[in-house]
Chains A and B, each alone.
Chain A
Amino acid sequence: GAVVSQHPSRVICKSGTSVKIECRSLDFQATTMFWYRQFPKKSLMLMATSNEGSKATYEQGVEKDKFLINHASLTLSTLTVTSAHPEDSSFYICSAMEGGSGGYTFGSGTRLTVV
């Protein structure tokens, strides 16, 4: 089946630095990927839709300058948390659409801790 690889699984960074999270579709091409944020004991909040070769579409309330999304190829989307602060600490999960099948495959998530 379709596999999405997300890396790193866990990262700790200092406040003020930037962190890049990668999401790769391993055996299929993903023209559309999604980035979610999950707070402890909460649901997944859609942050943005990443479209290959075009600008990402951000959900209301998500700072596009803080959460930079790049989808330069059909198999890779990246989320960069810029100038991270402790309140950015969270679990970030990516998802890719399996074109034509109506399905979505999720990465294993990245636990970001900003200290």
Chain B
Amino acid sequence: AQSVTQLDSQVPVFEEAPVELRCNYSSSVSVYLFWYVQYPNQGLQLLLKYLSGSTLVKGINGFEAEFNKSQTSFHLRKPSVHISDTAEYFCAVSDLDGATNKLIFGTGTLLAVQP
């Protein structure tokens, strides 16, 4: 079974500073990996996903993530954050063998951008 670990429950950062949100996963099979953002009282919006191919994935709003199979990580990065990036960020993993196609979420990281 897959699992996802987001070690940081909250990441405070000043506006225009770079940020990295960490995500590690475990799985016995190949996986798809995702990052979602959630604003208060809203659903989830896909930032980016890794299915195959290049390990560096670029997403919306200037975010990117790098798939590292040896370290089982999929950290999310942005070189310069804005106040509007303040939100909850979820890393998620899905199995590729098609048995369940479940999307399992990490516990989330609150990105708090300060002026």
Interface residues in chain A, defined as those with a beta carbon under 8 Å from any beta carbon in chain B: 6, 32, 34, 36, 42-44, 46, 49, 57, 91, 93, 95, 97, 102-109, 111
Contact = CB atoms under 8 A, between A and B. Distances in A.
What is the size category of the interface that chain B forms with chain A? Answer: 20 to 34
B43 A49 contact: no
Main DSSP-derived SS at the B contact region: strand
A102 B49 contact: yes
Interface string B31-47: 01010100001111110
Dominant SS among interface residues on chain A: strand
Contact of A93 (B44, B46, B101): B44
A106 B44 contact: yes
B42 A104 contact: no
A54 B101 CA distance: 16
A34 B42 contact: no
Interface in B17-34: 32, 34
A90 B105 CA distance: 17
Contacts of A103: 46, 49
